[in-house]
Amino acid sequence: MKGDIRIALHVMTAKGLAVLQAFEGSALRTYLSYVVVARDPNTLNDYFDEIVSLAGSMGLAIYERSQSLPQITHVIAVSWRWLIAPEPGQTIIVFHDSLLPRYRGFAPLVSALINGDRQIGVTALLASEEYDRGSILAQEAVDIDYPIRISSAIEKLMPVYASLAVKVAAQMVAGEEVGVTQDERCATYSLWRDEYDYFIDWSWDASRIERFVHALGFPYQGAATVLDGEVYRISDCVALPDLSIENRTCGKVIFVQNGVPTIVCGKGLIKVLAMSTDNTGRSALPLRRFRSRFTQPPSRMM
């Protein structure tokens, strides 16, 4: 059975790089046939060049997803954004950024951090016709504390990706990739995100907004807001205790100290510590005027 195993990696982002690194230091690398790569335009650093460089140094063939691919027995997909149609007799294993069956779907780690989950994790599962519903091969959780930025959360998950990759590959070689059926009663879903979903809803409570800002920071583009008709990115903030405000209006500035604004939320206050213009990336602090109102775009047509 061992001689029949040929594995292809479909990998993107830092998570895909971590999996490739895990194989580099493992005897299981001999079962790797090639690597399929793609760029991710939704991140500031997609680690495309690092993945290609490492795969090349390992002597692996490198393909892009539009190319015709050699026949293999197993596929491991990490941070992969497209469906992979299996060939007859082929096994496809997907790595997912959540403790399934919670957060099936898109950007699950972002959703978990915004919701304030105290545990995050990774699941390796068999691909299925309906996304993220396949049987679970392996799963590992990591405890976290807040505040936490998504870059730090990803760093905490890197060793998990590495260990699961080796564990699952060993199962493949032993012919033991038999998964556990997911409990549908516990299933939740995380919807796809677009540019509109980067915008802060100032009617949220301040703690949620703080988590939102940290969850959409690097390698993502950053939480957004509109001020005087222009889009700005907020990269750092802190939630403050609430005050009694007689005419509460979410998004209005209540204080400015040394050019740093404090903004009224649905509950609590947000002090903006770092903000830049969307088009140039220049700092937008100190705030130009006290009487400022932060809003969302007037519609989805931006």
Judged against a pLDDT cut of 50, whether residue 301 lies above it is answered with: no
Compute CA 80 distance to the chain's CA centroid, rounded to the nearest angstrom.
Answer: 11
Judged against a pLDDT cut of 60, whether residue 265 lies above it is answered with: yes
Q: Where in the chain is the domain with CATH 3.40.50.170?
A: 2-190
Which letter does DSSP use for residue 10 in this model?
E
Compute CA 276 distance to the chain's CA centroid, rounded to the nearest angstrom.
Answer: 22
Judged against a pLDDT cut of 60, whether residue 1 lies above it is answered with: no
What is residue 45's predicted lDDT score, i.e. its pLDDT? 85
What is residue 279's predicted lDDT score, i.e. its pLDDT? 81
CATH superfamily of 2-190: Formyl transferase, N-terminal domain (3.40.50.170)
Average pLDDT over residues 95-111: 96
Render pLDDT for 108-155 as a digit per residue (tens, 0 to 9): 999 999 999 999 999 999 998 888 999 999 999 999 999 999 999 999
* pLDDT tier, 299 (very low <50, low <70, confident <90, very high otherwise): low
What is residue 270's predicted lDDT score, i.e. its pLDDT? 98
Residue for token pair 């937008």: 284
Render pLDDT for 53-62 as a digit per residue (tens, 0 to 9): 999 999 999 9
Cis peptide before 70 (omega within 30 of 0): no
Q: Where in the chain is the domain with CATH 3.10.25.10?
A: 195-295
CA–CA separation, 179 and 205 (whole Å): 40
Judged against a pLDDT cut of 90, whether residue 191 lies above it is answered with: yes
CATH code reported for the domain at 195-295: 3.10.25.10
> Of 221-230, 245-254, 290-299, which range is least confident?
290-299
pTM (two decimals)? 0.90
Q: What one-letter code names the amino acid at 112? A: A
What is residue 22's predicted lDDT score, i.e. its pLDDT? 95
